[in-house]
Amino acid sequence: MSRSLTRLIEQLTNLPGIGVRSAERISRYILRMSIEDTRKLTQSILEARQNIGFCTRCGNLTEEGLCSICSNPSRIQNQICVVEEAFDIPVIERSGVYSGLYHVLGGVLSPLEDVSPAQLRISELLERLEMEEVKEIILATSATTEGEATATYIAKELARTGIRVTRIARGIPIGSDLGLADEVTISKALRGRENITGGAAD
Ligand SMILES: [Zn+2]
């Protein structure tokens, strides 16, 4: 096998979910692509990597300082939906039932993987609550053991603020990521959210 091909396959297998077989299949496809299409593909990967950063307020992905949601004045400003990853935001957006703001944690608490509260953007959330007038925090971490533990931890941290804290309903099957849930499930989960602390339910 040529050295370039070996190297391409090697790079592809570094990606999640791509084994040697898949890497070989993708390589075969790439070798049949035009140079122009190949350039577009590599250019878009490079551009995404170079241009996309994190919103300074919520942690969403953005090419500006503030993301498109934080900089949109028509969003409900006193509701924050707390999610694990920025990729959960488009999933909730597609459900069309939520028009508040977000806060990205950047993961979940996991003793096994050595993820402690300090590694998540929890202190940033508490700081936001001092600056912004927030009426409700919706905890939308996934229904996994780690997701539940993270929601419980944050609810406890928020208890002293007196802000209403809710948890999305368990419409999402246990163990599945929010990112994999469909729009109907997400909208049911959001509409059926339950009070944990503070305030009165709608
Ligand atoms: Zn933002």
- Could you report the per-residue pLDDT of 123-176, keeping only the tens digit for each? 999 999 999 999 999 999 988 889 999 999 999 999 988 899 999 887 555 445
What would the 3-class secondary structure string for 9-46 be? HHHHHCCCCCCHHHHHHHHHHHHHCCHHHHHHHHHHHH
11 CA to centre of ligand 1 in angstroms: 32
104 CA to centre of ligand 1 in angstroms: 9
Residues 6+ apart with CB under 8 A from 62: 52, 53, 54, 55, 68
Token representation of residue 118: 């300090």
Query: How much is the pLDDT for 201?
Result: 46
**Whole-number CA gyration radius for the chain:** 20
Query: How much is the pLDDT for 192?
Result: 80
6 CA to centre of ligand 1 in angstroms: 41
Query: How much is the pLDDT for 195?
Result: 87
H helices within 122-182, ranges in order?
122-131, 145-159
139 CA to centre of ligand 1 in angstroms: 17
Which domains, ranges and CATH numbers included, belong to the chain? Answer: 3-51 (1.10.8.420), 54-197 (3.40.1360.10)
Q: Residue 10 and residue 29: Cα distance in Å, rounded?
A: 16
Query: How much is the pLDDT for 199?
Result: 58
